[in-house]
Structure 1
């Protein structure tokens, strides 16, 4: 069974789930706070569609690759289906056309980088610290 476990993985050692320091983005009033805080510390918004398999896959890849601390950036999670008005306002306030999934990097009050779908995981967030 050792060879089979090496090839297909072992069910006896489940993968530990990585927890990111997400801040729930669920209120339009938070957007002004994000803009204000971005003058001192980079702010990141991850817009996720809970009904989209691609969005789930990109989110999982993002979580697996994430290697920054809470001291580095503030990381916001927006469930855009539950908070559609907030998602719409993100686009207006930060001048980015809506896509899903989508990542926005906010620094000094403006969007300095954004991407959607698989391009999200090509952004080097450490370059915005």
Structure 2
């Protein structure tokens, strides 16, 4: 019925009934200075970094599945989004600072200034986020 709604004035801003509310608020990771902020924040609460390649279909699919992992109980988690293609220097520094080998896509969980968990590709979707709330 979408075609008829468009032709005859359906509600443009109406969300589909099956669309899930997102509890994930991405924080763009765009500067090296933010790594110091992440380390500092991780002293009181775990901080997540999601490294994503915008040209990779697998990365896009894993990112969507990762977003679906978030429930209301996870909304307090800080999650940084790193676009690998535009911020390769930051990705390199993330690997060096947190002592992880670069992968894409990749999820790092930082606690007390160190990476306490990292996963790549489909293993990201197996991460139990509740242990870090």
Alignment partners' CA distance in 1, 2:131 and 2:40: 20
Q: CA deviation at 1:114?
A: 0.1
Q: CA deviation at 1:17?
A: 6.2
- The alignment's C-alpha RMSD in Å is 1.6
TM-score (norm 1): 0.84
1:66 aligned to which of 60, 67, 70: 70
Q: CA deviation at 1:16?
A: 2.7
Counterpart for residue 4 of structure 1:
none
Counterpart for residue 34 of structure 2:
30
Unaligned runs of 5+ residues in structure 2 are 1-14
8 Å contact from structure 1 (residues 48, 78) kept in 2: yes
Alignment partners' CA distance in 2, 1:13 and 1:24: 27
TM-score (norm 2): 0.82
User: Residue by residue, what CA displacement relative to the aligned partner does 1:3-50 show, whole Å, maximum 9, x if unpaired?
Assistant: xxxxxxxxx947536542111101011001101110011100000000
Alignment partners' CA distance in 2, 1:18 and 1:50: 23
